Amino acid sequence: MSVLTTLGNFLPPPLYMRMLSAGVDISDTSLKYIQFQPDHYKGLQLNVNCWGDIDIPVGVLERGLVHDVKKLSEAIREMRERTGIEMVRVSLPEERAYLFETEIKRDTPDKEIRGLLEFRLEENVPLSPRDAIFDYVLSEDAQNVDVLRAMVTVYARETVMQYYEACIAAGVNPLSFEVEAQAIARATIPRGDIRTHMIVDFGKTRTGVGIVHAGSLMYTSTVDIGGQELSAALVRQLGEKTETEFTTIKNTEGLVRGVEDTRVYDALLPTLSAIVDELRTRADYWDIRSSQYEERKIESIILCGGSVNLRGLPEYITEMLGVPAKRSNVWQNAFNTRTVVPEIGRRYSYGYATAIGLALASFM
* Interval 173-227: pLDDT, tens: 999 999 999 999 999 999 999 999 999 999 999 999 999 999 999 999 999 999 9
Q: What's the pLDDT tens digit per position in 312-335?
A: 999 999 999 999 999 999 999 999
316 and 336 together in one domain: no
137: confidence class by pLDDT, cuts 50, 70, 90: very high
CATH number for 136: 3.30.420.40
pLDDT computed for residue 143 by the predictor = 83
Residues 316, 237: one domain? yes
pLDDT band at 243 (very low <50, low <70, confident <90, very high): confident
| Over residues 97-106, mean pLDDT | 95
26 and 80 co-located in one domain: yes
For the chain, the domain total comes to 2
Percentage of residues in the chain having pLDDT higher than 70: 93
274 shares its domain with 159: no
Bridge partners (DSSP) listed for residue 140: 148
CB within 8 Å of 142: residues ≥ 6 apart = 293, 295
User: Global pTM?
Assistant: 0.92
Q: What pLDDT digit, counting tens, does each position of 5-60 carry?
A: 444 434 333 434 446 899 999 999 999 999 999 876 566 689 999 999 999 999 99
Q: What is the mean pLDDT of residues 285-305?
A: 92
Check whether residue 168 and residue 211 sit in a common domain. Answer: no
Q: Which helix (H) or strand (E) holds 317?
A: helix 313-321
Whether residue 20 is found in the same domain as residue 151: yes
Residues 204 and 230 in one domain: yes
3-state secondary structure of 306: coil
Cα distance between the two ends of the chain: 13
Sign of CA dihedral 164, 168, 170, 175: positive
Give the domain extent around 268. Answer: 193-327
Whole-angstrom Cα distance, residue 289 to residue 275? Answer: 21
- Do 76 and 122 sit in the same domain of this protein? yes
pLDDT at 170 over 70: yes
Are 203 and 147 part of one and the same domain?
Answer: no
